[in-house]
Amino acid sequence: MKNLTIRVVKTEPELAAMLHQRWLVLRKPLGMPRGTESDRYDGNALHVIAVNSDPAVSASQSLLQPVIGSARLRELSPGVGSIAYVAVLPEFQHQGIGSALIQHLIELAKEQSFSQLRVMARASVIRFYQRFGFVARAETVNYLGTPHRFMDLNLNGEAG
């Protein structure tokens, strides 16, 4: 997408906007209430957002730019990171925004010297993560009524 900016959340209003966007994409379609889009790990994680950085939007409106995509990176254990809550508003899907979010998180993980990344992916998006080198584990788990699979990415360049 043209005029797309991917960056780490910096302010409380941005965090609130990101959580609302996350709920709209990941929880509202499942009939889940506000508050279910967050968990106890959010406070110790890096949150990235995708916003439309069209120059036609003035600097005074920059806080009002809607969050169109978001994702989270956190440390699971020394050297191992977790990607979660990857969400892109439906009207912006299939435009490269999810890919840009994942690529940004992979770079942040490398900067933090992570050697491995993990994600619990909905079965419907396994191929998406495979494009980045993630390898699916054999077992399928049911989470929120939807089949998921854990996937791993070795950041040291060795096979899964």
The structure's pTM equals 0.88
Distance CA 75, CA 116 (A): 10
Domain limits of the chain? 4-117
Nearest to 28 by CA among 78, 90, 109, 115: 90
Nearest to 97 by CA among 68, 77, 121: 68
Alpha helices, H only, the chain = 12-22, 97-111, 126-130
Q: What is the DSSP letter of 129?
A: H
- Residue at 24: amino acid letter: L
Structure tokens at 1: 């997408």
Per-residue pLDDT of the chain (160 residues; tens, 9 = 90+): 678 999 999 999 999 999 999 999 999 999 999 999 999 999 999 999 999 876 665 444 445 568 999 999 999 999 999 999 999 999 999 999 999 999 999 999 999 999 999 999 999 999 999 999 999 988 888 888 889 999 999 998 654 4
Distance CA 98, CA 92 (A): 9
CATH fold group of domain 4-117: Aminopeptidase (3.40.630)
pLDDT, position 1: 61
pLDDT, position 158: 52
pLDDT, position 42: 94
Structure tokens at 97: 């925004």
